Homo-oligomer: A and B are copies of this chain.
Amino acid sequence: MKGVNIVLLGYGNVGRAFLQVLQEKREIMLARYGLDFRLHSVFRQGGALYSPQPLAVKEILEEYAPRASFQKDPDWYQDLGLEHVLESTDPGVLVECISSDKKGGEPGLSLISVALERGWHVVTADKGPLVAGFRELFERARSHQVSLKISGATAAALPTLDVALHSLAGTDIYQIEGILNGTTNYILTRIREGAGYPEALAEAQSKGIAEPDPSLDITGWDTASKILIISSAVLETEFSVENMKIQGVDNIPPDLLDQGKKEGQALKLLGKLSKKAGKFQLEVALEVIDSSHPLFGVDGIDKGITFYTDTMGAVTVTGGKSDPRGAGAALLKDIIAIYQRDI
């Protein structure tokens, strides 16, 4: 049995779902993987929980509602910085679930760096730092001989990097196409079924699929950031979101709308890495695909990705829960992968 210290950064929907899964899976983690997780700290805006002795996950989830402050219980709450906590605790895994800035990647970029430099592994669901500083972060992880795992930021419960790096090891991946955003896929599915764009968006919002401010999804940024991170990890490409051609679903050309409604056709928002004249290009594009396309049946909030390879042909993965619980489970999966090497 191996004790694994955990520090959680972020107590929003994903952070809470992660703790929930951690709690549910406690027995299985011990029995199946020999891992004994010890949560020492939870950080969020406006406070932190910290204890040198492992915290009771169940109690935290019961005591602290999503938007409550941690300052309720003065014995628990201590105004400690992350650095101090990481230095006072034997290195384990920092679980990063905050929403950093989409441009500079802060504060995630700095906070992940702080952890890596102190010998902590990091698993993250935060795209900002990876879009802004992919190479920098992975070089930092390598030089400190720790792992940085990013399933949570690359479609979470839908396995993307695992499949590309592990299941397709040794192949030459020359093209990637992904439906990587549940909100836009839901909107496009509803439009195909006859809804108008404003109606489909309002529906997605009322069902909690789209954020109250859905702009990062509908303008294609979320898809762009995911395909960019995937392509950086799988093919070591060096793109920036600023230089990508990005379409969204907020302004669909009428001819595409019509074409996508035809029998055996569907309009999809694809994150796409392809080769033109020997050079990779990365874009987010509205495309009408037909029923022979492996992503044709990926409807509603579902996601999917196809890798085109030389020796194994095209391999497609679809599904995976598009919700905080799926993201929490993906963070846990990454932690297991880090320690499975040792057990």
User: Which chain A residues have a beta carbon within 8 Å of chain B's beta carbons?
Assistant: 21, 24-25, 28-29, 33, 157-159, 162-163, 166-172, 291, 294, 296-297, 306, 311-322, 325-326, 328-330, 332-333, 336-337, 340-341
- Are the CB atoms of B313 and A315 closer together than 8 Å? no
Asked if B157 contacts A315 (CB within 8 A), the reply is: yes
Chain B residues, CB < 8 A from A337: 166, 169
Contact yes or no, A167 B172, CB < 8 A:
no
Q: Give the complex CA separation of A311 and B159 in angstroms.
A: 13
Partner of A315 from B166, B312, B319, B332 at Cβ < 8 Å: B319
B319 touches A306 (CB 8 A): yes
Contact between chains at A25 and B170 (CB < 8 Å): yes
Beyond A158-B315, A315-B317, A316-B319, is A329–B171 a contact (Cβ under 8 Å)? yes
The oligomer's copy count stands at 2
Please pick, from B24, B172, B315, B332, the residue contacting A320 in the complex, using a CB distance under 8 A. B315
Complex contacts, A312 vs chain B, CB 8 Å: 157, 320-321, 326, 329-330
Q: How far is the CA of A159 from the CA of B21 in the complex (A)?
A: 26
With A25-B170, A29-B170, A297-B291 as contacts: A314 and B319 at CB distance below 8 Å: yes
Q: Separation in Å of the A268 CB from the closest CB of chain B?
A: 14
Q: What's the Cα separation between A297 and B289 when bound, in Å?
A: 14
Q: Please list the 7 inter-chain residue pairs (A to B) with the smallest Cβ-Cβ separation, ordered nearest first.
A: A159-B167, A313-B321, A311-B329, A157-B312, A162-B167, A169-B336, A315-B319
The answer to whether B297 and A340 have CB atoms under 8 Å apart is no
What are 17 residue pairs bridging A and B, where the CB atoms are less than 8 Å apart in the complex?
A: A25-B311, A28-B170, A29-B170, A157-B313, A159-B315, A166-B337, A169-B333, A169-B337, A294-B319, A296-B297, A306-B319, A311-B321, A311-B329, A312-B320, A313-B319, A315-B320, A317-B317
A333–B169 CA distance with the chains assembled, in angstroms: 5
Q: How far is B311's CA from A258's CA once the two chains are assembled, in angstroms?
A: 37
CA distance A270 to B294 in the complex (A): 19
In the assembled complex, the Cα of A329 lies from the Cα of B314 at a distance in Å of 13
* A43 CB to nearest B CB, Å: 23
Give A104 to B25 CA distance when docked, in angstroms: 39
Could you tell me if B336 and A313 are in contact, using CB atoms closer than 8 angstroms?
Answer: no
Give bound CA distance, A38 to B326, whole Å. 43
Q: How far in angstroms is the closest Cβ of chain B from A173?
A: 12
A77 to B104, CA, bound (A): 64
Which single member of B163, B170, B294, B336 contacts A159 (CB below 8 Å)?
B163
